[in-house]
Amino acid sequence: MTQSADKHVILVTGRAGYIGSHACKALSRAGYLPVTLDNLSTGWGGAVKFGPLAEVDLLDRPALDAVFAQYKPSAVMHFAALSQVGEATRDPARYWRNNFCGSLNLLEAMLAAGCRDLVFSSTCATHGDQDGVMLHEDSLQQPLNAYGASKLAVEGLIRDLGASDGLNAVIFRYFNVAGADPEAEIGEWHQPETHLIPVMLEAVAGARPELVIHGRDYPTPDGTCIRDYVHVCDLIEAHMRGLDWLRAGRGSRVFNLGTGVGFTVAEVIGACRAATGRKVPHIYGPRRMGDAAALVCGSQRAHEELGWIAARSSLKLMIQDAWRWYQTGGYSG
């Protein structure tokens, strides 16, 4: 951190998105000023509630430099990324340009401004398809699509800039994030919506005809994909602990975040029916290209070194929190 940096200012990329907006609420409550950096291409302007917004694209380096000069952040939480698996397979160039080139611009702007503390939102999709394997930080990384590959490349870039320029980074790899702010102030909203739980809730509420389950012939107990789900509030608690880790001067570290328990799509549908008291209209469609059959993530390192526990990450509670926010009208955009 340079002398001119404001230790209370944290730059949050993708803050108008689902996870970034929850991070900003947590930062604000902890006494920080979260400054949003978002181009609003996939985020929701209504989620920007906890500090100023800089409507800037990560591909616009001069605009990035201006934001750092104006706000002088002491650290960055980097969430901004394109993340739809099907689209990543159909249009990989867009994902490499946005996720990798945008991150390169951001990191260069950080270093030019003397800002060297980064909390980076990566993904367990860097590990690819490893059925029956509990993914940990040292598991083989072999991504199946441009989303995972571009995130893996950014991880490599971060390591190289750490060695050459003193960038300090905590990297979190996680997979399916679910739930919503328990106070129903913010929640999960994407345009278009592709994530399983909000799509299920739209189907339950009649906002869409049905949920389409992508594939029923995977090598899993009921033929549908298995994923590990983490409550968004638990995830943000880890990010706050990652920020504390950097401020304590403990150096760069990678953490996988999960519950260690996976659920099939069919099991999530059953949990949704139990949580809402309503049936989930659904049909089966073909597999999506680039989807792994099963991804389950352990978090022993985060438990031991960060003291992190996924306290709110029961499937029932995640769906109940998301449903509560839905019923407030949050999903209306």
Which structural domains are found in the chain, ordered by start?
Answer: 6-178+229-257 (3.40.50.720), 196-227+260-332 (3.90.25.10)
E strand or H helix that includes residue 222: none
162 touches 169 (CB < 8 A):
yes
Nearest to 13 by CA among 69, 62, 68: 68
pTM of the predicted model, to two decimals? 0.90
Catalytic residue among 32, 147, 229, 326: 147
* pLDDT, position 288: 85
Angle, vertex CA 173, rays to CA 323 and CA 116, nearest 5: 115
pLDDT at res. 265: 95
Q: Which residues fall within 8 angstroms of residue 158, CB to CB, at 6 or more apart?
A: 107, 118, 120, 167, 169, 171, 252
Let me know if 71 is a catalytic residue. no
pLDDT of residue 160: 98
pLDDT at site 16:
56
- b or e along 15-24 (b: 16 or more beta carbons within 10 Å of the residue's beta carbon)? bbbbbbbbbb
**Which residue is it, tokens 């698996």?**
85
33-37 vs 53-54, strand pairing mode: parallel
pLDDT at 192: 65
Distances (CA, A) of 166 to 50, 99, 251, 284: 30, 22, 10, 49
**C-alpha separations of 173 from 162, 255, 274, 299 in Å:** 18, 6, 30, 10
Block means of pLDDT (10 residues each) for the chain, 333 residues, are 71 80 93 88 58 91 96 96 84 95 97 97 87 83 92 97 98 91 78 80 91 93 93 96 97 95 94 92 90 87 97 93 83 48
